[in-house]
Amino acid sequence: MGVSRRSFIASMVAGSTIGTWSLLEPARATAAVASPAASPAGDVVGKITVGYQGWFACPGDGAPINGWWHWSQDWSKSPSPSNNAIRAWPDMADYTQGYRTSYGNLGDGRPATLFSSYDQQTVDTHFRWMQQNGCDTAALQRFNPTGGEGPTRDGMAVKVRSAAEAYGRKFYIMYDVTNWTDMQSQIKTDWTGKMSALTASSAYARQNGKPVVGIWGFGFNDPARPWSPAVCLEVVNWFKSQGCYVMGGVPTYWRTGVNDSRPGFLDVYHAFHMLSPWMVGRIGNAADSDNFYANLNVPDQADCNAHGIDYQPCVMPGDITARQRAHGDFMWRQFYNMVRVGAQGIYISMFDEYNEGNQIAKTAATAAQVPSGSGLLALDEDGTACSSDYYLRLTADGGRMLKGQIALTPVRPTSPLGGSGGDLQPPTAPTGLQVTGHSSTTVSLAWGASTDNVGVTAYQVYRVTGSTRSLLGTTGTTAFTVTGLAPSTAYAFCVTAQDAAGNVSAASNTVNATTDAGAPVNLAAGKATSESSHTQGYVSGNAVDGNRDTYWESANNAFPQWLQVDLGARTSTRRIVLTLPPAAAWSTRTQTLSVLGSTDGSQFSTVAGSAGYTFDPATGNTATITFPAAADVRHLRLVFTANTGWPAGQVSEFQVYAS
């Protein structure tokens, strides 16, 4: 099971959040002005980056790990109060697929289900939330990929790429080196052999024109990260030599080399392009944030400025179980402090960290959404009602303050219930969904607009398969064309509406559509050919190359002659189309030929008897041979016995069709 970052923090921090570790610098009362960035605005500088675990799985979701990955202590057994690995329960309303657990029913009586990160719809949902709430970039956490979790993590990288591209977000790979014994060599192999390919995506984060790579864990004072400064520096410099912009997730006390940081690592830290000191487990209330701001963040920012390093401090919502959140005041104080210190970017720790209770992703708002008897707390644990998306919306406002879109303020502007009065009313369902057109690969849809007390912001279009819905896309209009469909295939669709507060309507009516038949497939295209003979360079392969200006011509004055194609496997065939070059210089001619078929290439039987076929440039220089009955063959041979235009067999394209 992957090691949580809290697992070593908890062993080092006792009592109050900062009681064990002294703050070395005297408190400062002066607020820093915004610092000049070492780098211009890009995909991480001037942006909100969220740490994205993407590490939850459930049996039956198709993930190679095939277990309750990170949901339970024993991944082979269903999560339950006695087999629990999380500190908060997700709001499952937006997920089309949920997996039944062994918890009791939710407080409102519904079954207790959990999502799988391995479902593309889950990742799409998360990135849609990011899009709607100003989360610019996702740092996909990648732990040691060489063990049993590797194939699942590989799959998650592909799913994250797809979602980032679909929702206009950026992403990058952030290696967590915890307990990675052979890290120095394997991290390079993983990058060059697998992860670097992701940088070809338009959604891969770039800073200063370079692909971003994160490394979390160098220099921490614990046995899970034992490498020397020389080893760590070599790895950082190797990634820089690969043309990467390298971000470092470093200890809180990186600059002074005490407490959670081993001494002697300052050269390693200064080698990074960006530094993001870890803060989970260090602070637990607004006063702690103020103390760290004065004693660590201000001098940290000054050190980064002096060394041309971009500073990206952490902001977290707080652990629900420890009752740290204070209905958003704790998180907002961190935003305020990190913006006023002049940080070049902010790292949210984390987006989906239900294990440590520090997630901003949608979370159970009340006890009605939490399994009965689980002991888990909801967002209203301190008596203040909050919507499930509250911390996403608060992050959006924090991002606006970072970017100067709202003024720097210590007063939280975000309402726990959304809007000025707390908008919890969903839009009405879209009406009259209908199919307005279709082709072999597309279906066009249109519907009547939904209404909302505040305003509809988007519609989600879903494919319906049984009781499951798969998100296909989002639009701000009342029409959408679904693309990439298979020909001659039946599909079902529905639509939902969403407002600015994230409330989602009931689904529209479901409509059915069948795509048109696709263009017939030429079974002979590019396949292997053979011949009885050819003249000059007019070889048999010319007849299957897709170019009508090239052609096969047999030896002259030597009938009979034959041309043959190997379809590669036994195939049902019914029709052949033969062509000659379209140029007018090719006069009208009639070729007499028969068609033979074989399953093994040695024993042939007649498929179509000998007949004359006219090729006329005025009508395309084409002849079609339709078989009397379908022929189940692998090899088709044309046997030529006459040609009124030239004393040889001639074919520019030998096309074979199933119907």
Query: Tens of pLDDT along 393-429?
Result: 999 999 999 999 989 999 999 999 875 445 667 899 9
Residue 638 maps to a domain: yes
Task: Give the confidence band of 36 by pLDDT, cuts at 50, 70, 90.
Answer: low
First to last CA, the chain: 54
**The domain spanning residue 378 has which CATH number?**
3.20.20.80
Sheet holding 443-448, edge to edge: 431-438, 443-448, 479-482
Does residue 161 share a domain with residue 240?
Answer: yes
**The domain spanning residue 603 has which CATH number?**
2.60.120.260
Per 3-state DSSP, the chain is made up of helix, strand and coil in percentages (nearest 5) of 20, 30, 50
Does residue 110 share a domain with residue 193?
Answer: yes
1-15, 57-71, 73-87, 525-539: least confident range: 1-15
In this structure, what token pair is assigned to residue 395? 């992050």
In contact, 106 and 372? CB cutoff 8 Å = yes
Does residue 232 share a domain with residue 103?
Answer: yes
Residue 650 maps to a domain: yes
- Indicate the average pLDDT of the chain: 91
Instruction: To the nearest 10°, report the CA torsion of 10, 16, 22, 25.
Output: 120
Looking at the structure of the chain, the number of domains it has is: 3
pLDDT for residue 361: 98
Instruction: To the nearest 10°, report the CA torsion of 499, 500, 503, 507.
Output: 30
Residue 382 maps to a domain: yes
E strands in 297-360: 310-311, 314-315, 346-348
Rounded CA separation 143/153 (Å): 8
Residue 27: how many other CB atoms lie within 10 Å? 10
Q: Which residue has the higher pLDDT, 356 or 585?
A: 356
Rounded CA separation 114/100 (Å): 7
In contact, 582 and 642? CB cutoff 8 Å = no
Does residue 504 share a domain with residue 369?
Answer: no
- pLDDT tens digits for 450-495? 999 878 888 989 999 887 777 888 888 999 999 999 999 999 999 9
SS3 assignment, position 571:
strand
Rounded CA separation 532/87 (Å): 75
The closest alpha carbon to 56, from 132, 141, 181, belongs to 141
- pLDDT tens digits for 138-191? 999 999 999 899 999 999 999 999 999 999 999 999 999 999 999 999 999 999
Strands 137-142 and 48-52: parallel
Residue type, 41: A
User: For residue 171, what are the β-bridge partners?
Assistant: 138, 204
Residue 421 maps to a domain: no
Does residue 53 share a domain with residue 194?
Answer: yes
Helices 120-132 and 390-402 cross at an angle (nearest 10°) of 50
pLDDT for residue 70: 97
Does residue 334 share a domain with residue 372?
Answer: yes
Place of tokens 């707080």: 318
Does residue 443 share a domain with residue 322?
Answer: no
Does residue 506 share a domain with residue 536?
Answer: no
Residue type, 432: G
Rounded CA separation 43/213 (Å): 12
Does residue 573 share a domain with residue 507?
Answer: no
Among 483, 514, 545, the domain boundary falls at 514
The closest alpha carbon to 448, from 426, 430, 474, 427, belongs to 430
Q: What is the mean pLDDT of residues 539-560?
A: 97
Does residue 510 share a domain with residue 613?
Answer: no
Residue 247, pLDDT above cutoff 50: yes
In contact, 523 and 657? CB cutoff 8 Å = yes
Residue 537, pLDDT above cutoff 50: yes
Q: What is the 3-state secondary structure (H, E, C) of 97-150?
A: CCEECCCCCECCCCCCEECCCCCHHHHHHHHHHHHHCCCCEEEEEECCCCCCCH
Residue 558 maps to a domain: yes
SS3 assignment, position 274:
strand
**Surface-to-core class of residue 348, CB atoms within 10 Å of its CB (0-12 exposed, 13-18 middle, 19+ buried):** buried
In this structure, what token pair is assigned to residue 605? 């039987």
What percent of the chain has a predicted confidence (pLDDT) above 90?
85
Residue 480 maps to a domain: yes
Residues 225, 229, 234, 239, CA torsion sign? positive
pLDDT for residue 501: 66
pLDDT for residue 37: 60
- pLDDT tens digits for 301-332? 999 999 999 999 999 999 999 999 999 999 99
Give 493's contacts (C-beta < 8 A, 6+ positions apart).
433, 443, 445, 461, 462, 463, 464, 472, 482, 510, 511, 513
Give 124's contacts (C-beta < 8 A, 6+ positions apart).
162, 163, 166, 167, 471
Instruction: To the nearest 10°, report the CA torsion of 399, 401, 402, 405.
Output: 90
Residue 493 maps to a domain: yes
Does residue 392 share a domain with residue 291?
Answer: yes
Residue 380 maps to a domain: yes
Q: What are the phi and psi torsion angles at 403 (to 5°)?
A: -90, 5
The closest alpha carbon to 159, from 187, 183, 140, belongs to 140
Does residue 556 share a domain with residue 501?
Answer: no
Please state the length of the chain. 659
- pLDDT tens digits for 279-307? 999 999 999 999 999 999 999 999 999 99
Task: Give the confidence band of 448 by pLDDT, cuts at 50, 70, 90.
Answer: very high
Task: Give the confidence band of 605 by pLDDT, cuts at 50, 70, 90.
Answer: very high
Full residue range of the structural domain in which residue 333 is found: 5-402
**The domain spanning residue 505 has which CATH number?**
2.60.40.10
The closest alpha carbon to 314, from 377, 358, 257, 259, belongs to 358
